[in-house]
Amino acid sequence: QVILAESGGGSVQDGGSLTLSCTASGDTISSYCMGWFRQAPGMEREAVAAIDVDGRNSRAEPVNGRFTISRDNAKNTVYLQMNSLKVEDTAMYYCAADGPPSPRCSRWWEEESFADWGQGTQVTVSS
């Protein structure tokens, strides 16, 4: 089991930037596809981005060109760099590790592909 802890959330104005971190314990993430999801109030949780063990990544269309996912296996940490933030990016952001661990992020857009989840970090973007 991978224990995940997100940090870096906060409140920013429209157009601002934030970098979220997800630090893992209990296992090394080097063998896992890692993902970021978000859930806005009253909405279903949705995939944001995912990164496989070789660094190849995928992003959802609403964040393409603005968000970047990366990983530092030596630090057992995954990052989500968020630029040009919009009010509609306001949500609780969750980090997730796939299960069983797989080198490739197949069906990364589905929650069911991920077995371990963090508690989330809140991102609020104001106009």
Kindly report, residue by residue over 8-41, the tens digit of the pLDDT.
999 999 999 999 999 999 999 999 999 999 999 9
- Contact in structure between 76 and 29 (CB atoms under 8 Å): yes
Average pLDDT over the chain reads: 96
User: How far is CA 99 from each of CA 28, 65, 72, 102, rounded to the nearest angstrom?
Assistant: 13, 28, 19, 7
Residue 117: is its pLDDT beyond 90? yes
- Contact in structure between 64 and 94 (CB atoms under 8 Å): no
Average pLDDT, integer, range 56-72: 97
- Look up residue 63 and give its amino acid: V
